[in-house]
Amino acid sequence: MQFKTRHSWNLLPKDAILLQRKLARQVSLHDSIARPIKLVAGVDVSYKRRAEKFYAAIVVLDYTSMTILDAVTASGEVDFPYVPGLLSFRELPILLEAFRKLATTPDVILADAQGIAHPRRLGLASHLGLWLDLPTIGCAKSLLCGKAAEPRLEKGAWTSLRDADEIVGRMLRTKDRVRPLIISPGHKTDVQRATEIVLHCCRGYRLPEPTRQAHLLGNRIRLEAEERGEQ
């Protein structure tokens, strides 16, 4: 894939926060996802705690059958510090290197991260969507901001996630009696369409199949690198 460079990554945390606020104003919550959807991608980044080597994985699937059609990876050193709310400044540079290797352009991307359910409305999924100019959805495993009631126990049940009187996503049950996911629009989609797409992609697991496969691939390449002595 080809895409424009939107900004430098050589930033101090205080400058990254200012940039987030600026970029958040460019996020679109108008649903622009193709109908019908043909290709969906899942992304994830794997690394050991306190490690500086990150491993990014992208898996592209057929939207109807959830068959894997393409997969790429990238790895690299990360020097941006861990700061809550600034995850994208650690993970996105490596993810974007992987996207440069991708031969296909997905209709929508699911990220194991937040979209607008973020204190400054620019989680990794939103940041990624702006860089690629593609629709993205955040499918996070934990809450970063806001409050939501616990949804009913059956798959498909959801409650609205609100932060400062604004609906920023949903707490969605993706499998009966398992912990819900935090679903939020990243870029070029809305809460309702994001929910529908995530549920379509759930095939018996808590995680939707695109991010589940990306998680498995990212962990595998990291473990293989560690076995070769690459730290």
In this prediction, residue 231 carries a pLDDT of: 63
- Is this model's pTM higher than 0.95 or not? yes
Q: Is residue 114 part of a domain?
A: yes
pLDDT, position 156: 98
* Total domains, the chain: 1
Residue 5 in any domain: the answer is no
| pLDDT of 35 | 94
* CATH classification at residue 194: 3.30.2170.10
- 181: in domain: yes
Q: List, in order, residues 6 or more apart from 26 with CB less than 8 Å away.
A: 130
Q: Which residue has the tokens 């606020």?
A: 21
Residue 40 in domain: yes
**Sequential pLDDT tens for the chain (231 residues):** 999 999 999 999 999 999 999 999 999 999 999 999 999 999 999 998 878 899 999 999 999 999 999 999 999 999 999 999 999 999 999 999 999 999 999 999 999 999 999 999 999 999 999 999 999 999 999 999 999 999 999 999 999 999 999 999 999 999 999 999 999 999 999 999 999 999 999 999 999 999 999 999 999 999 999 888 876
In a domain, 98, yes or no: yes
Residue 49 has what pLDDT? 81
Question: What is the helix (H) or strand (E) element at residue 184, kind and residue range?
Answer: strand 181-187
Residue 14 included in any domain: no
Is residue 190 classed exposed, middle or buried when 0-12, 13-18 and 19+ CB atoms within 10 A define those classes?
Answer: middle
Asked whether the bond before 93 is cis by omega within 30 degrees of 0, the reply is no
* Start-to-end Cα distance in the chain: 28
Q: What residues have CB less than 8 Å from 121, skipping those under 6 apart?
A: 24, 27, 168
Look at residue 1 and tell me if it is in a domain: no
Give the number of other CB atoms < 10 A from CB of residue 132: 24
Q: What separation in angstroms does the CA of 40 have from each of 33, 55, 77, 190, 208?
A: 11, 20, 28, 16, 11
Boundaries of domain holding 99:
25-227
